[in-house]
C-alpha cells in the first residue's frame, strides 16, 4: 500500500486559523503535538506541572513573562518553558507560533478560564 506524503505548509495552515489564542494541531510525533497559534495581546498566568512547553516564533515578537523576569523572542527563535514554571505569553502585535507539547495539555494549564482552548482540534 502506498502512502501519500505531503509537506505541511504553515502559511496555508495559518490562513485557516481565524481566532487568536486557539492552537490548532498540524502534526503528531509519538505522544507530542505540533500546534500552530495566532496570538495577540496578553494571555493569563499559568503553568504546566507535568511538562515542558516549547515556543517557536515564526513571525512577530513574543514576550514570555515570568514572575522574576521575561524573555523576548523574534522570528526564528525558540524558548522552552520548564515544567512547573509559571509564565504569561504577551504579544503587542500579531504573532504566529509553533508550539510543541504532549497530547492532552491544556493551553491554560490548570488555571482554566475563558481562554482555555479545546484540545485536539486539527487544521
How many of the other CB atoms lie within 10 Å of CB of 102? 14
pTM of the model: 0.92
pLDDT at position 101 is: 95
**Residue of higher predicted confidence among 108 and 74:** 74
115 has a pLDDT exceeding 80: no
Q: Which domains can be identified in the chain, with CATH numbers?
A: 20-102 (2.60.120.10)
Confidence band for 112, pLDDT divided at 50, 70 and 90: confident
pLDDT in tens, 20-46: 999 999 999 999 999 999 999 999 999
Element of type H or E holding 31:
none
Going by C-alpha positions, the residue among 122, 8, 14 that lies closest to residue 59 is 14
Amino acid at each position: 500500500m502506498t502512502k501519500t506524503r505531503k509537506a505541511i505548509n504553515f502559511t496555508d495552515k495559518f490562513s485557516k486559523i481565524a481566532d487568536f489564542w486557539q492552537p490548532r494541531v498540524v502534526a503528531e510525533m509519538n505522544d507530542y503535538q505540533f500546534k500552530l497559534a495566532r496570538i495577540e495581546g496578553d494571555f493569563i498566568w499559568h503553568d504546566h506541572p507535568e511538562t515542558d512547553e516549547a515556543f517557536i516564533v515564526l513571525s512577530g515578537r513574543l514576550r514570555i513573562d515570568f514572575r522574576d523576569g521575561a524573555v523576548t523572542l523574534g522570528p526564528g527563535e525558540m524558548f522552552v518553558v520548564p515544567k512547573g514554571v509559571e509564565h504569561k505569553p504577551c504579544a503587542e502585535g500579531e504573532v504566529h507560533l509553533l508550539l510543541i507539547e504532549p497530547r492532552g495539555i491544556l493551553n491554560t494549564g490548570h488555571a482554566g478560564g475563558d481562554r482555555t482552548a479545546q484540545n485536539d482540534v486539527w487544521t
